[in-house]
Structure 1
Amino acid sequence: MTVSVEDFAPAYLGKDVDDVVILGGGLAGLFCALKLAPRPVTVISNAPIGQGASSAWAQGGIAAAISEKDSIEAHRDDTLKAGCGICEPKIVELMTGEGNDRVRDLLSYGVPFDQDLEGRLQLSREAAHSQSRVVRVRGDMAGKAIMDALLTAVHNTPSIRLVEGYMGESFLGEGRYVTGVLARKRGGLERLAFPAKAVVLASGGIGHLYGLTTNPAESNGHGLAMAARAGAVIADAEFVQFHPTALDLGKDPAPLATEALRGEGAILVNKAGDRFMEGVHADLELAPRDVVARAIFQEISEGRGAFLDCRTAIGGRFERDFPTVFKAAQAAGLDPVTDLLPVAPAEHYHMGGVLTDANGRTSLDNLWAAGEVASTGAHGANRLASNSLLEAVVFAARIAEDIQGLMPTPRSAYWNTMDDAPGLPSQRNTDEREAITVLRRTLASNVGVLRTASGLKQALTDIGKAETICVRESIRNMMVTGKVVAAAALKREESRGGHFRTDFPNQKPDMQKRSFTKLSEVDALTADLLETA
């Protein structure tokens, strides 16, 4: 197959095999690239580097046991408790133990974390944390500030090459060996092959597979599907976290009302002004996210509505302390100083992903994974607030160290024939857009905050049917990830953390363990359901 290189920067021409190729330009990918310097690295990003990354949208911050009143042990215990019994304890201990060093790394890259007049980092408290340990930037701008600083560092690092506007479609490989990435130019048919000695998957989460999400459009599960199709083991795919307080303003993605607002004392009320978290959980609005999300979902479902009341707790300092949320509310004609903010649960974070070990290695040789696409076992069934950015930098650094000490030898690469399909491109695009609509609708309806066996089977059936009209690899990848999540949720006949089955509302002691699946199993289950549909 001939691959056009017209739009490929001259600096890359003639590079037969890169040392390392990183798929994803978010926090995990950029941090790993910086840690690998001066080893040559190519970073491939679907959108302009940093712009399509969920990391840049993170409002909360990064959790780390920095305060003298805090301890690594306390952070570890809070994480294990939030994970509902299926975290990997050694992974959690490792992650929380390295948090302080990674925050110092970010400071060295120029991240302007909030500090007091004496230079001490200012710390905030979020739900299910026993201490104030979340490092922030101007209240709700941590993600953007971190990404801006890393982008500056990356642009100043000659060993890092950036390739923007290409989306990963599949891995190059021989058997269990991953030898590179095949990527398509966004919005076009041109493909490029990126052979590599080591591949790091840092492609982000699955949020935009759902009808209501806080994630950017680039969070569409491509990376998870690529790994699953290559035969990688997927872990804990059923555990999806829904942020309780997305601003319900009809926007896609939905603006996020950061948990820090509740940490500052904002309360949840319904149309009647009742504080409905009373009687639901002892921690009220700072209960674990899955508890708050279900409570809000119930209020909305029963017609009472759900609103965040920031008027008394934050009031006139809202614009100064939470400028991102303030701007989103103002754009919708709301003033959070005087108005209630309508909220609803939205897909926010995927605890599951490609199974990795403590060094980020997957079950496929020469493939590492970091960030939301990975499942390290650090989050269990329910991620502790602000542990996501921590996990990303901790394991990105460990991957870099692992690759530095164990550089794979080059292997030949191949790719399948182009997936050119019959029919006019315009008709294919129309059909595939409808398939995506079906996918997002069925995940939101049947694989959302509340789940049942019948709904999950219907989701697999609907996605399976939609998949048959998909031609482009990128769209098929979205369908694959949707099926994996639904199938894993169907298999877990209990409720735990972010996974709640109304037909199995209790935890089962014998299911206090992680789940593992491969795409072959998911495809077999879907085929059986399609036969009986």
Structure 2
Amino acid sequence: MGAGVAGLATALAAAPRPVLLVGGSPPGSGGCTALAQGGIAAAMAFDDSAAAHARDTMTAGANHNDYEAVQYLVGNAGLAVRWLQAQGIDFDRDADGLQLGREGGHGCPRIVHAGGDASGHALLTALAQAAQQARHITWRAPAWLDAIQLRDGRISGVALADTATRMPQELACAELVLATGGCGALFAATTNPATADGNGLALALACGARLRDSEFVQFHPTALDVEQDGALPLITEALRGAGARLVDDEGRAVMDTLHPMGDLAPRDHVARRVWEYRQAGGRVWLDATSLRGDWEQRFPTVVALCGQHGIDPRQQRIPVTPAAHFHMGGIAVDLDGYTSVPGLYAVGEVACNGVHGANRLASNSLLEGVVFGRRLGHRLADIRLHAPSSGQHHWVDRGRTADAQALGILQQLAWSTLGPVRHGSRMIEAERYLATDDRLHETWQGKLIARFLLAALQRQKSLGAHFRADDWK
């Protein structure tokens, strides 16, 4: 389930085992992968190394990372780039070879891009075409995973609902991979599409799967600060890597005295700074007017997104705000994607093997999807097929879905209490409010937010993206 980068990498690597690939959108569209402006982090330069990439990943993650997972990620980054090239992805090049950009938290340029700031779209298009041509993959019409069948505690079937007709279909299933993405859409301000609402996380939880690090939510510091329904446009970190500066209303730099890396500090530091300015009634702007070169080639997505709101980033400062962007936590898995439920696997943002720690390093997410998706696919290709069990079976679903009004309340609640800066007393108040409002706590979205609140309250000390203002160290 899931046809973003992680799901596609898993399906392709599972050959020759037959795979039924199910996504919520037509091939090559939808989800967070298509929106990703950053590229793939990989130590490809002569003066870079996997060890340096690992150090930056651990530092950004507040050393909460799983060390073995980090070593596997960075050690396979170059192989991932070459595999993607073999799938037909034409990465941007310059006179020295692959063009390498720099983003927040990285000590040197190591971001490989395709189509400037349209890397996610390029990856999704190429991998979707490869999956459509692969003989072992059957790509089903867009559908929603409605329920999971368990027999003797093991995955034995799924119920799919067609997204067009809503007609249900039950299928036998011995191995189920969840690659359903994140949960940013549970927050009032997010860069994620509405489908990234934690639906896979909620279903795994209902099946009894363990969660891990669910309190760690990353907020991108530079979403476009405009009034609109749904996801806020993302303004790529690569602009700051190219020299753009974050400034206040008076044009003064906001990060210079806060962190040694300034505007290229890890995202949690920058997001909190922008949040503080906005909470105080001011605004923060991204000033990229000093950047030279071909904007249409380097940053076509930014030019188009800003243009839709009457902003020319080459001539005007860009108003920015933090927004929920990536979940470091998720379904607890080992490095092979195995969950605590037999037959259930997870990969990509819905999963948590500890590779990102308490805060993800920029451009490690697409890399994670490719590296661990391929690892899981290879493991699944070798698994002996399970015969159906003869024990009792039962169906598990998420439970009641919040209506539009209840969802709006939950999104505001999550944003105000689980945002870039958290307060213990406010989180306790939110817990009590959730528990006493039947419209909220009986919904699967409400149950997820309650789990996030519980995890955030249990971690009383600030760590990475989990920053508590009441933590008096």
TM-score range, shorter chain: over 0.9
Say if 2:460 is the partner of 1:493. yes
Residue 370 (1) aligns with residue 362 (2): no
What is the aligned partner in structure 1 of residue 304 from structure 2? 327
CA contact (8 A) 1:136 1:142 kept: yes
Deviations along 1:70-115, one digit per CA (max 9) or x if unpaired, are 1111111111111112111111101111111111111110011112
Question: CA–CA distance in 2 between the matches of 1:69 and 1:420?
Answer: 52
Question: Do residues 446 (structure 1) and 411 (structure 2) align?
Answer: no
Residue of structure 1 aligned with 2:72, choices 94, 97, 106: 94
User: SS at the partner of 1:179?
Assistant: strand
User: What percent of counterpart residues are identical?
Assistant: 38
Which residue pairs with 1:225 in the alignment?
Answer: 202
What code does the residue aligned with 2:269 have? Answer: V
Q: Tell me the secondary structure at the aligned position of residue 22 of structure 2.
A: strand
Q: Distance in 1 between matches of 2:28 and 2:370?
A: 15
Say yes or no: does 1:202 pair with 2:169: no
Name the structure 2 match of 1:359. 336
Paired residue secondary structure (2:221)? strand
> Is 1:144 matched up with 2:111?
no
Select the residue among 55, 60, 82 that pairs with 1:104: 82
Q: Distance in 2 between matches of 1:130 and 1:470?
A: 44
Shift, 1:64, TM fit: 1.1
> Helix, strand or coil for the counterpart of 1:45?
coil
Task: Judge conservation of contact 1:28–1:393 (CA < 8 Å) in 2.
Answer: yes
State the Cα distance separating 1:340 from its structure 2 match. 0.9
Contact 1:438-1:462 at 8 Å conserved across structures = no
Letter in 1 for 2:320: V
| TM-score under structure 2 length normalisation | 0.94
The one of 268, 273, 298 equivalent to 2:276 is 298
Q: Is the 8 A contact 1:432 1:469 kept in 2?
A: no
Q: 2:42 is matched with which residue?
A: 64
Query: What does residue 191 of structure 1 align with?
Result: 168
1:52 aligns with 2:30: yes
Q: How many angstroms apart in 2 are the aligned matches of 1:267 and 1:459?
A: 36
CA change 1:334–1:316 in 2 (3 A) is farther
List aligned pairs for 1:22-61, cutoff 5 A: 23-61=1-39
Match of 2:174, SS? strand
Note if 1:459 corresponds to 2:461.
Answer: no
Contact kept, 8 Å, 1:329 with 1:335, in 2: the verdict is: yes
Q: CA 1:416/1:331 → structure 2, altered by over 3 Å: closer, same or farther?
A: same
Q: CA deviation at 1:410?
A: 3.1
The match for 2:405 among 434, 438, 443 is 434
Matched residue, 1:503: 470
Give 1:35 shift: 0.9
Return 5+ residue gaps in structure 1 as ranges. Answer: 1-22, 422-428, 507-533
For the Cα contact (< 8 Å) 2:150–2:395, is it kept in 1? no
By how many angstroms is 1:45 displaced?
1.4
Which residue identity lines up with residue 184 of structure 2 in the other structure? Answer: G
Residues 1:254 and 2:232 aligned together? yes
2:5 alignment partner AA: L
CA RMSD between the two structures: 2.1
Equivalent residues, number: 470
Per-residue CA deviation, residues 239-276 of structure 1 (Å, 9 max, x unaligned), is 00000000011232100110000000100111111111
CA shift, 1:303, in A, is: 1.7
1:386 aligns with 2:357: no
Partner of 1:510: none
Deviation at 1:301, TM superposition (A): 1.2
For 2:432 and 2:170, the matched residues in 1 are separated by 34
TM-score (norm 1): 0.84
2:383 corresponding residue in structure 1:
406
Q: Which residue of 1 aligns with 2:219?
A: 242
1:343 match: 320
Quick one: distance in 2 between partners of 1:224 and 1:417?
13
Q: Could you give the per-residue CA deviations for residues 482-517 of structure 1, whole angstroms, max 9, x where no partner exists?
A: 2222221111101111111111154xxxxxxxxxxx
Q: Does 1:124 align with 2:95?
A: no
Return closer, same or farther for 1:432/1:303 CA change in 2, 3 Å cut-off. Answer: same
Secondary structure of residue in 2 paired with 1:498: coil
Residue aligned with 2:7, SS: helix
CA distance in 2, matches of 1:301, 1:196: 49
Native 8 Å contact 2:61 2:358 kept in 1? yes
Greater Cα offset, 478-487 or 23-32: 478-487
CA distance in structure 1 between the aligned counterparts of 2:41 and 2:383, rounded to whole angstroms: 30
Mapped contact 2:434–2:440 kept (Cα < 8 A): no
> Which has the bigger relative contact order, CA under 8 A and spacing at least 6?
2
Using the alignment, how far apart are the partners of 2:46 and 2:322 within structure 1? 35
In the other structure, the counterpart of 2:155 is: 178
Structure 1 residue 402, shift from structure 2 partner: 1.1
TM-aligned CA distance change 1:379 to 1:419, over 3 Å: closer
Query: Are the counterparts in 1 of residues 23 and 143 from structure 2 also a CA contact under 8 Å?
Result: yes
Structure 2: distance between partners of 1:467 and 1:332: 39
Q: Quick check: 485-494 or 161-170, which moved more?
A: 161-170
